[in-house]
């Protein structure tokens, strides 16, 4: 893999920037500089980002953005889940338009996923300030905690907590790789567990709009800088632990072994056949495997893995979930071992209202960009808020479709275009209340 360093990030992103895109108070250099400053927090040896949820690195990134928000005249509040809200008042006392995303990352991830959505929303405020423009409605920028879910294998924690959508049983089962409970982790982070448990959304949101990198290749194929999200697939995470009997690799005969790693291998291979049975849009992925005690000369005691299951249709997604659940049980039975299966999270797919797709299309067309409609296979905070509030989502072109990787990249030209479109969309949504 090509090595990236934190020192060359700014020079790379600004190198081919078209400065004619700097207008209406939007600054490409400011966007590039802020993406660069955040990229320096949790940088890995290969130039990626490592800011897992509720880590010191995620907190530092939030604090950096809070400083920029305050300098832009925003009032800051932090809720019981550590979600950050920066607010500017509008000319009217009315429901807020909200935009933002997250700043946590997967281990050794990229520098645009989530972060761009936060910086884009902040740049809208900067452009208003430069023109002494006061928006009609209050406007808020949000940084949701632990969107990726890498630490606890349960994603969208901040936004789900904000919306009161986390089950207490789920919280009780969450453990990180060090065996720390969710309670222990957030107390170390500086939050109170009781405040987290008792969270209840009290905001009146007129519209939530999230800017995010595409994490796919559709926009590259059609050669467009941005696209309109038509719907968001609902992810479900199934944590499967095969439990066998540890033994000496040399002294334990092959017949009669209860090896959970063999069961896991059979299970992993079998997963590939199931998505196509239920839907042509369904997917299932196993990207994480933990073997205990993980010794070269030891038959494993147990193997834990997480299956990421997604579809844009809830009924077929849940059918796939059931098929995989039964497969794990059948394999364990056939190998004479035990299996524990837990649902770590299950989020409903979200179709985005055509009205808001059309409003984004109007804004996009003003900048001589052709509207492109894309279903999102990845889960986002917007899908959580969309259960109660109107939402819209704008994708930004990803180079080679790469994401969750140090080579994740979106050109500054595309990022700045997204900011212009975001501002126009926000202002047009606010005009509807006049």
Give the pLDDT of residue 281.
80
Q: Which helix (H) or strand (E) holds 173?
A: helix 168-173
**300, part of any domain:** yes
339, 385: one domain = no
In the predicted model, is pLDDT for residue 1 greater than 80?
A: no
**157, part of any domain:** yes
- Select from 112, 117, 73 the least CA-distant residue to 98: 117
Instruction: Among 292, 325, 346, identify where a domain stops.
Output: 346
385, 299: one domain = no
Tens digit of each residue's pLDDT (9 = 90 or more) over 375-406: 898 889 999 999 999 999 999 999 999 999 99
- Report CA 209 to chain centroid distance, whole Å: 14
Give the pLDDT of residue 434.
64
Instruction: Among 346, 361, 383, identify where a domain stops.
Output: 346
**401, part of any domain:** yes
- β-strand 84-88 against 139-144: which pairing, if any? antiparallel
pLDDT-based confidence at residue 423 (cuts at 50, 70, 90): very high
In the predicted model, is pLDDT for residue 30 greater than 80?
A: yes
- Of the chain, the percentage scoring pLDDT greater than 70 comes to 98
182, 273: one domain = no
Instruction: Among 346, 369, 389, identify where a domain stops.
Output: 346
134, 145: one domain = yes
Tens digit of each residue's pLDDT (9 = 90 or more) over 264-316: 999 999 999 999 999 988 899 999 999 999 999 999 999 999 999 998 889 99
In the predicted model, is pLDDT for residue 202 greater than 90?
A: no
209, 244: one domain = no
Which residue in the block uniquely carries the two structure tokens 């299956």?
307
**187, part of any domain:** yes
- Torsion angle, alpha carbons of 285, 108, 383, 184, to 10: 100
pLDDT-based confidence at residue 3 (cuts at 50, 70, 90): very low
325, 376: one domain = no
**100, part of any domain:** yes
Interval 226-232 mean pLDDT: 94
59, 162: one domain = yes
267, 400: one domain = no
Q: Higher model confidence: residue 345 or residue 209? A: 209
Q: How open is the CA angle 375-377-200, to the nearest 5 degrees? A: 95
| Containing structural domain, residue 305 | 235-346
Q: Which helix (H) or strand (E) holds 243?
A: strand 234-243
- Please give the mean pLDDT across all residues of the chain: 94
Give the pLDDT of residue 58.
98
In the predicted model, is pLDDT for residue 6 greater than 70?
A: no
338, 255: one domain = yes
Tens digit of each residue's pLDDT (9 = 90 or more) over 42-78: 999 999 999 999 999 999 999 999 999 999 999 999 9
93, 209: one domain = yes
Report the CATH number at residue 202.
Answer: 3.40.630.10
- Select from 76, 51, 215, 236 the least CA-distant residue to 145: 51
Neighbour count for residue 354 (Cβ, 10 Å)? 10
pTM of the entire structure? 0.81
- Report CA 371 to chain centroid distance, whole Å: 24
In the predicted model, is pLDDT for residue 5 greater than 60?
A: no
Tens digit of each residue's pLDDT (9 = 90 or more) over 117-149: 999 999 999 999 999 999 999 999 999 999 999
- Select from 202, 401, 233 the least CA-distant residue to 318: 233
Does 321 sit behind a cis peptide bond, omega within 30 degrees of 0 on the bond before it?
no
pLDDT-based confidence at residue 341 (cuts at 50, 70, 90): very high
Q: How open is the CA angle 38-420-367, to the nearest 5 degrees? A: 140
Report the CATH number at residue 261.
Answer: 3.30.70.360
304, 339: one domain = yes
**54, part of any domain:** yes
**1, part of any domain:** no
- Number of separate domains in the chain: 2
158, 204: one domain = yes
Give the pLDDT of residue 128.
98
């Amino acid at each position: 893999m090509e090595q990236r360093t934190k020192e060359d990030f700014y020079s790379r992103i600004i190198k081919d920037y078209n400065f004619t895109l700097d207008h209406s108070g939007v600054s490409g250099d400011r966007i590039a500089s802020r993406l660069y400053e955040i990229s320096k927090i949790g940088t890995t040896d290969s130039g990626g980002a490592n800011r897992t949820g509720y880590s010191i690195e995620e907190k530092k990134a939030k604090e950096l953005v809070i400083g920029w928000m305050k300098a832009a005249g925003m009032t800051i509040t932090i809720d019981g889940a550590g979600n950050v809200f920066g607010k500017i008042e509008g000319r009217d006392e009315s429901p807020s338009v909200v935009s933002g995303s997250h700043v946590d990352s997967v281990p050794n991830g990229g520098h645009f996923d989530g972060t761009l959505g936060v910086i884009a929303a902040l740049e809208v405020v900067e452009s208003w300030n430069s023109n002494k423009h006061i928006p009609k409605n209050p406007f808020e920028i949000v940084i949701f905690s632990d969107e990726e879910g890498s630490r606890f294998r349960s994603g969208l924690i901040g936004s789900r907590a904000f919306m009161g959508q986390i089950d207490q049983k789920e919280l009780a089962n969450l453990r990180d790789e060090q065996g720390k409970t969710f309670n222990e982790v957030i107390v170390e982070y500086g939050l109170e567990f009781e405040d987290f448990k008792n969270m209840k959304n009290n905001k009146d949101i007129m519209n939530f709009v999230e800017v995010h990198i595409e994490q796919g290749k559709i926009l590259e194929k059609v050669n467009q800088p941005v696209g309109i999200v038509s719907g968001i697939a609902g992810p479900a995470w199934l944590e499967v632990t095969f439990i066998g009997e540890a033994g000496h690799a040399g002294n334990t005969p092959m017949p009669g072994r209860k090896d959970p790693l063999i069961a896991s291998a059979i299970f992993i291979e079998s997963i590939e056949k199931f998505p196509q049975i239920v839907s042509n849009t369904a997917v299932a992925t196993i990207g994480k495997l933990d073997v205990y005690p993980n010794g070269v000369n030891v038959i494993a005691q147990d193997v834990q893995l997480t299956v990421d299951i997604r579809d844009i249709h809830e009924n077929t997604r849940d059918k796939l979930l059931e098929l995989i659940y039964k497969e794990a049980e059948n394999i364990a039975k056939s190998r004479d071992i035990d299996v524990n299966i837990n649902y770590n999270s299950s989020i409903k797919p979200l179709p985005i209202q055509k009205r808001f797709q059309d409003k984004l299309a109007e804004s996009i067309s003003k900048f001589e960009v052709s509207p492109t409609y894309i279903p999102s296979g990845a889960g986002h905070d917007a899908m959580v808020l969309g259960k109660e509030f109107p939402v819209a989502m704008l994708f930004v072109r990803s180079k080679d479709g790469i994401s969750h990787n140090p080579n994740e990249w979106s050109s500054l030209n595309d990022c700045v275009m997204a900011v212009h479109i975001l501002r126009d969309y926000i202002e047009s949504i606010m005009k509807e209340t006049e």
